[in-house]
Structure 1
Amino acid sequence: MDDATARKRLKTMFAELERSIGVLRGDPVAIRERSAADAGADLTDADRNQAMLDVATLQLKAVTEALARLDEGRYGRCVDCDKPVPEGRLEARPEAARCVQCQSRLERRR
């Protein structure tokens, strides 16, 4: 993927993630009396909301780092081994920082 296409896709992703994070952090809902079941449902919704916020925040960080790599001329190179990140991987995940092998190694360590 050429740099101009990558930059456009990454900036679009960045804007969408910022909007999503804004929605997820939205204003608190007006407080009203709730039954115990409603309180439990609210906790589940809050947990789900927090999980989505965490994922969106991590992805926003990855997109920001990819844009920095573009600016530095390092986009498309694995941050661990410096080999090229396969074109197909960048098409699927423009924010990818690692080649498939290095990403697999990182995930196994977790």
Structure 2
Amino acid sequence: MQTASTNICERMGRSQELSDSKRGPVIGGHLGNKSIRDISWLLNIPRSTVSGIITKWKQLGTTATQPPSGRPRHMTERGQRMLKHTVRRSRQLSAELIAKDL
């Protein structure tokens, strides 16, 4: 029987990831010939998460979190909004003064 305090899905939320200490037993179970369903039930982790960890381990040889792919975002949305607001507020400012202000 699962309670709210033991259900990892309710505690984690969608955006959080499992720690390395929780990923290790998943790989250990896989190497011990346990099924994804058994590993999921034993560790109280969703089957999709267990499957993803095993797939990642098979492809990359590691379960560590990888950096995101793609071009890095240098300016956040908040920074873009601030820049637009500054330019609209005083259109006579030079680029140096705007950069200094930000």
* TM-score, normalising length: structure 2: 0.25
Determine which structure has greater relative contact order: mean sequence separation of CA pairs < 8 Å that are 6+ residues apart, divided by chain length.
1
Question: TM-score scaled by structure 1?
Answer: 0.24
**Bigger Rg, structure 1 or 2:** 2
Structure holding more helix per residue: 1
